[in-house]
Structure 1
Amino acid sequence: MKIEGYGPHDQVLMVSVTSVKPGLKYDDACLLKAGDHPFIRHDSYVYYRDPRIELASKVTENVQIGQWVAREPCNAQVMARVLDGFQRSRLLPRYVKNLL
Structure 2
Amino acid sequence: MNGILVSSWALTGLQAAAVVATGRHLHRRSLGPVAGFSSAVRRSAAVLVLACVLPVPALIAAGAPAATWALWGAGYLAAALVYALADAARDGLGARKVEPEAQA
Per the normalisation by structure 2, the TM-score is 0.23
Higher RCO, Cα 8 Å, sep 6+: 2
Instruction: Name the structure where strand makes up a greater proportion of residues.
Output: 1
**TM-score of the two chains, using structure 1 as the length reference:** 0.24
Q: Which has the higher helix share?
A: 2
